[in-house]
Structure 1
Amino acid sequence: MPAAPRGATWRRQIRSAGGQVIRRLGMLPAGTPDGHGEDAALLGTSWPYEVLVYFADTAEALYQIEQWYDTFRALHAEHPLVVVTRDSRTAAAIRRDSGLDVRTVAHYTTLDDVLRRSPTKLALYVNHNPENFTCLRFGNLVHASLMHGDSDKLVTVSNQTKAYDFSFVAGRAAVERMARFSTLYDAEARCVPVGRPQLDEQLRLREQTPRGPLPTVLYAPTWEGGQPSAEYGSLVSHGLAVVRALVTSGRYRVVYRPHPLTGVRDAAYGEADAAVRHYLAEAPVPAEGPGHATDTAGDVGPAFAGADLLVCDVSGVAMDWLATGEPIVVTRPTGQVTIARSPLLELAPALTVDDLDDVLALVDRELGDDPTRAERLRLREHYLGDTSPGAATRRFVEACERLMAVRDREVARVNAELGR
C-alpha cells in the first residue's frame, strides 16, 4: 500500500491533537464519551471480577443504571462485579454513588487483553446503546440485557434484544409481549423472569412512610421519546391541565416527577415542564400537610412511598407502580403512536385529551371506590412475579448464577470441539 501523502498525515495529526484538546477541556458534545480511559494501567493485567456491567453512556443517561445499584451490590456480595464505562466523568459518578468497582476503558483492545486473563463470565447491559457491541463481540461471555424498566411501549420489544444471549424481564407479561410482537425470537427460551429487584427497597420504604392528611397524587409522565413513533409523553398535551385541576380542588396534594430526559428532543416538552414546575412552586400550600412539589431525585422510591394514586403515561413507571397495589390512571398520547394491547392498559382507566375536563371526577372515583383493585392485584403477579421483600433480588442473583453455569458448560463444549 502506498504511503499516505505528507499533507494527509499532517491533517490527521492536527485532527488528533485537536480532539485531545477538546476532550481535555470538556468541550465534547453531549452524549460523547470523553475517552479518558485507564487503558495504560490495565494493559497486561487481569481482574478478579466474574460479572461485568457494560455502560457506554455519559452522565445524561445515569438514571438508567442508578436504579440497579442496590441489585448490583447484592450480586457483588456473591460474585465480584465491575462496571465498565467509556467516560471518566460517568465512572466518577457511578463510583461515588454506588460504591461499586468501576473501570474506564476507552479501547476495545484493552478490554480484550484484560478479559483473556480474567475469570469474567457474564456481561450485563442496562440499555441498547450501539456501543454495547464493543463488549458483545466477546464470545466467551454470556450477555444479558437488563434494560432500565419494563413497559408496554413497543420499544420494549425492539429487535435489538436479539443481540443478547438472554433478556432479563420482570414477569410473564414481558415474555408474552416479546413472543407476540418480536418476530423470529424464542421468548420462552431467551427471556428470564426475575421480577423488578429495584422494588424491594421501594416497598420497604413505602411500609415505613406515614400517610399524609390529604391523599397524594403522583404525576410522573415519560419523555417525548427518541422519535415521533415513540412519543408516549403526556406533558405537553395533559400536564398542566391535570396538575391544575387537582391542585385547585383543594382535595389533593400533587407531586410532579418529570422524566430526566424531558425536553432533549422537543423544546415544547421543556417548556411544558417549566410551566408545571412554576405552577406548583406558586400554588398555595394545602391547609394540612406538606405542599405540592416537583421531585427530581434520582431514586423514585420516596415519591412512590408517599403517593396514593399515580397518573402516568404508557411507560415503565406504570409497571413498577403495580407493586404498590394502589390505583393508577394511564394517559393516552395524542400523536400517531402505536399502543400495544395489554392486560394493564385494558384495565387501567385511560385519560385522553378529551377526558381532561373530567380528570378530577376520575381521580375521586379511583381513590374512593377503586373499582379495579381486585383485578389489578392479580395483574401484579403477572407483570412482576413475587413482590414479597427481597424475592426479586434473590431471583436476580440466582438467574445470574445459572447463566454463569451455562457459560461454563458452553466454553467447555467449544474447547472440547477444538481439542483443547
Structure 2
Amino acid sequence: MAALGAAFAGQVAGAVHPDALVLTVFTAAGLALELLLYRRHRGLSRVLSKARFDVPVRHLLRDLLLVAGLMNLEPYGPGLLYLPLCYGLLLCYALYFACLGAAAKVRRTRTLPVLTRNIDASELRLSTAPPALLTRHPGIRLLTCGFPVTAGLVAAGLTGDGVWAGAGVVLSVLLSGGCFAVLLMWLLPGRRPAGEAEVLAWFDRWLAEYRPTVGMYFSGGTSSAYQANMWLEPLAGLGGRPVIVLRERFMLQKIGATDVPIICVPKVAHLMRLEHSTLNVLIHPANSGKTSQVLRIPSIKHAFVNHGESDKLSSCNPYAKAYDEVWVAGPAARERYALAEVGVDDRDVVEIGRPQLAPVLPYAGPPAGPFMTVLYAPTWEGWTEDPGNTSVILAGENLVRALLADPGVRLLYKPHPMTGSVDPRAAAANARIKQLVREAAARRVGGVAESEPCGRELARTADAEFPARADGVERMLRQGAPAPGRAAEVARATARWEEAYWASSAPGEHRVVTGTQPSLYSCFNQADLLISDVSSVVSDFLASGKPYAVVNTGGLSEEEFRAVFPTVRAATVLTPDGRGVPALLEAVRDPSKDALRGVRAALKEQLLGPADPPSPVRFAAAVSALAAHAAHRRSPVPAPRPAQEAPAQGPLQRPLG
C-alpha cells in the first residue's frame, strides 16, 4: 500500500516538476505493483476496490499524470499534444467500458437456470467459454490493452518524439476494439447457449424421460462437500434411477466422481418443477437454509441421513423433525433423539447403519512392525464457543509433542476440513501442529509428504480439472453423459493411488493429510490407534474395532465425560496436557493391557447397529419403504378417512349469518 502511494507521489513530482526520468521510473514501478497486486495480494486489491480505488481508477490516474507531465516537458505544450492525447485516452476508456458491458452480457447469456453433470445436454447449444481475460478479469484486460498507450507516453517523454504517444494510443485502441469485437461475436445468435425458457423446457423433458426415483439433496459452503461425497457410493448402489440435486453452482465441481446424474437448480421457482417428476424420495446429508425450500414439495418424501453421528447437540438438531423420517445408524442415535426431546417421533426414526463403512478393515492385532501408526483426527471448533468441541486449541500441541516423543510412533495428522473457519485460535493452533509434524518428519526421514499435491494429480486423472477459462456451460459440455463404468474406473484409480501413496512412505514417516485424498477411511486402515474428539469420526472408527482415545477439553471429570457422551464409553480419556499418552501407547502395543476391547464390540453394535443384515441392505430397504409411502400418497384415489362424530357446535363453529 505504501509502495503504491509512493509510486503515485513520484509520478506527481515528475509531472509538476517536469522530469522524464522520474516519470518513467515511477510509472514503471506502478505497473509492476499492479502485477504484484494481481499475483500475490488479491485481498488488498479487493480492499482498494471497495474504497473506489480499483484498477480503472488507478490506471486512469496514472495516464493522466503522464499527460500532465508531458504538457510541462519541452518541446511539448498544451496546443501540440493536449487534444489528440485526451481524445485518444477517452476512446481507449470508452472501449474499456464497452467491453465491460459486453462481457456482462456474455456472462448473463451463459448463466443457465439449470446446470448438469453426467447428463447429455448437447441440444442446449453448449460451447467452450470465451477467454477469461475478456469476461472475468476486467482489470487485467485494462492493464494489457492500456499498456501500449502508457508505454508510448513514457517513450514520448524520454525521446521528445510525440509519435510514440500517438502510436501507443492507436495500438491500445486496436487492442480494446479487438476485445470488444470478439465479445460481440459470442453474442451472435449462433454462439449463444439456449435461453431460460428453452433450458427449462429441456429440463422438464429430461425429468420425464429419465424418471428419477430417489435422489440426494445437498446445499452448503465450499468446504462442506465431504458431507455429500460420503453418500455417493451408497446412493449409486441403490440401482434404479438416482439423481443428485444441488443448489450452488460451484458445488458441481466439489462433488466426487460418480455416474449418478447431477442437477444444480439455484432458484427455488425452478426447483419446484421436481414436484411434477417421478422423484419419490430425497435423502439429506445436512441441514441448510435452503433445505426448507425443497421440503415444500409434498409429492416427495424426505429423509435426514446426516453426514455423521456423534454425541454433539448437532446430532439431535430440532430441525430434524421437519423431515418425514430420520435415518440413523443404530439404537444409540434413536435413544439420543428420545432423550433430547426435540420433537422427533420415535416412529419416524429408522436404523440403517452406516453403508459408507464397508471399506474400513477390521482389527488385525497389535502393531507388527517397529512403528505404531497413530491417527490424530480432531474435529473443528463448531459454531459455538464451547471449548469441548475441538481439542486443537487446548490440547493439540501437547498431544502431538507427546506422540512425537515416542520413537516408535508414526503420526498421521488429519484435521477437519473446516478447522479454523470460525475461531482464529484453531487456525493458528492447526498451523503450529502441522509445523511440528513437518519438523519431526524432517528429523526422521528428511522431509514430510503432504497429501494435497498428490490429490491434485488424482483429480487430473479423474478429469476434474478444466481450463482456466471454463465456465458452467463449458463444464456441462465436457461433463456430459459419462462413459459406462466411469465412476468405477475412478474408484479403481483412487484405490491404486492410495496404495501407492502409503507404499511411498519411508518407515515411520510422519504425514500431514489435509487434502481429500487419501480419504479418512484409508487413514483408518493405516492406523493402529485413533485420537479424536467427540465427533462422528469416533463412531465410524468403531467399525474397525481398534483402540481409540477421546480428548476431554470441556472441563468435565472423567466420570461425567463418559456419562454425558456415550461414544466415550469404550475410549481411553485423555486430558489436555497429554500426560496419558504413554500409557495409552503401551496398551495398544500389549493387548493384555487393553481392557476396553469387549466394551468396544458392544458399543459398536449400539452405535452402528447389527452386522446382519448388512447396512447397504437396510439402507435400500428404508428407501423402498419410504418410496412406497410416497407413491401411495401420489395415488389419485385418496385413502378413506375414518368416520368421526360431528363435533358440537360452539360459538365459533356456528354458520355465520
Tell me if both proteins adopt one fold, taking TM over 0.5 as the criterion.
Answer: yes
CA distance 1:413–1:242, shift in 2 (3 Å): farther
Of 216, 241, 253, the match for 2:373: 216
Shift in Å at residue 282 of structure 1?
1.4
CA distance 1:263–1:24, shift in 2 (3 Å): farther
Shift in Å at residue 53 of structure 1?
1.2
2:262 aligned with 1:262? no
Instruction: Please give the alpha-carbon distance, in whole angstroms, between the structure 2 residues aligned to 1:309 and 1:217.
Output: 5
2:308 aligned with 1:308? no
Q: For residues 17-56 of structure 1, what are the structure 2 equivalents within 5 Å?
A: 37-38=114-115, 40=197, 41-43=199-201, 44-47=204-207, 48-56=211-219
**2:333 aligned partner:** 174
Amino acid at match of 1:122: V
- In the comparison of the two structures, how many residue pairs are matched? 382
Shift in Å at residue 301 of structure 1?
1.5
**1:296 aligned partner:** 514
**SS in structure 2 of the partner of residue 201 of structure 1:** coil
Q: Deviations over 1:193-239 (max 9, x none)?
A: 111111012338x88xx965311111010000012248510001111
CA distance 1:203–1:396, shift in 2 (3 Å): farther
**1:358 aligned partner:** 580
Instruction: Please give the alpha-carbon distance, in whole angstroms, between the structure 1 residues aligned to 2:639 and 2:566.
Output: 47
Q: Is the 8 A contact 1:150 1:315 kept in 2?
A: yes
Of 384, 391, 413, the match for 2:608: 384
CA distance 1:66–1:211, shift in 2 (3 Å): farther
Which structure 1 residue ranges, 5 or more long, are not aligned? 1-16, 26-33
**2:261 aligned partner:** 101
CA distance 1:219–1:56, shift in 2 (3 Å): same
2:630 aligned with 1:402? no
Give structure 1 regions of 4+ aligned residues with deviation exceeding 4 angstroms: 20-25
Shift in Å at residue 304 of structure 1?
0.2
Q: Is the 8 A contact 2:320 2:344 kept in 1?
A: no
Instruction: Please give the alpha-carbon distance, in whole angstroms, between the structure 2 residues aligned to 1:22 and 1:158.
Output: 44
**SS in structure 1 of the partner of residue 224 of structure 2:** helix
CA distance 1:49–1:211, shift in 2 (3 Å): farther
Q: Deviations over 1:279-307 (max 9, x none)?
A: 11111327972401111243211100000
Percent identity for Structure 1 against Structure 2: 31
Q: For residues 249-288 of structure 1, what are the structure 2 equivalents within 5 Å?
A: 249-283=406-440, 284-285=443-444
**1:200 aligned partner:** 358
Q: Is the 8 A contact 1:51 1:82 kept in 2?
A: yes
2:564 aligned with 1:345? no
Shift in Å at residue 358 of structure 1?
3.0
Q: For residues 317-336 of structure 1, what are the structure 2 equivalents within 5 Å?
A: 317-334=537-554
Deviates more, 1:356-365 or 1:54-63: 356-365
CA distance 1:322–1:413, shift in 2 (3 Å): farther
Instruction: Please give the alpha-carbon distance, in whole angstroms, between the structure 2 residues aligned to 1:178 and 1:93.
Output: 31
**SS in structure 1 of the partner of residue 404 of structure 2:** helix
**2:275 aligned partner:** 115
In terms of Rg, which structure is larger?
2
**SS in structure 1 of the partner of residue 598 of structure 2:** helix
Instruction: Please give the alpha-carbon distance, in whole angstroms, between the structure 1 residues aligned to 2:105 and 2:545.
Output: 50
Which structure 2 residue ranges, 5 or more long, are not aligned? 1-99, 116-195, 447-505, 642-657
Of 292, 297, 301, the match for 1:133: 292
**SS in structure 1 of the partner of residue 237 of structure 2:** helix
Q: Is the 8 A contact 1:53 1:125 kept in 2?
A: yes
Shift in Å at residue 57 of structure 1?
1.8
TM-score, normalisation: structure 2: 0.54
Q: Is the 8 A contact 1:53 1:82 kept in 2?
A: yes
**1:88 aligned partner:** 249
2:365 aligned with 1:145? no
Shift in Å at residue 115 of structure 1?
3.1
**SS in structure 2 of the partner of residue 255 of structure 1:** strand
CA RMSD, aligned part only? 3.0
Q: Deviations over 1:309-343 (max 9, x none)?
A: 1110000001011111111111112479x967243
Instruction: Please give the alpha-carbon distance, in whole angstroms, between the structure 2 residues aligned to 1:344 and 1:302.
Output: 22
Amino acid at match of 2:351: P
**SS in structure 1 of the partner of residue 405 of structure 2:** helix
**2:7 aligned partner:** none
**SS in structure 2 of the partner of residue 61 of structure 1:** coil
Shift in Å at residue 367 of structure 1?
4.2
Amino acid at match of 2:330: G
Instruction: Please give the alpha-carbon distance, in whole angstroms, between the structure 2 residues aligned to 1:245 and 1:166.
Output: 45
**2:316 aligned partner:** 157
Shift in Å at residue 416 of structure 1?
4.8
Amino acid at match of 1:245: A
Instruction: Please give the alpha-carbon distance, in whole angstroms, between the structure 2 residues aligned to 1:262 and 1:22.
Output: 39
Instruction: Please give the alpha-carbon distance, in whole angstroms, between the structure 2 residues aligned to 1:260 and 1:211.
Output: 31
2:394 aligned with 1:237? yes
TM-score, normalisation: structure 1: 0.83
**1:5 aligned partner:** none
Shift in Å at residue 63 of structure 1?
1.1
Shift in Å at residue 35 of structure 1?
8.7
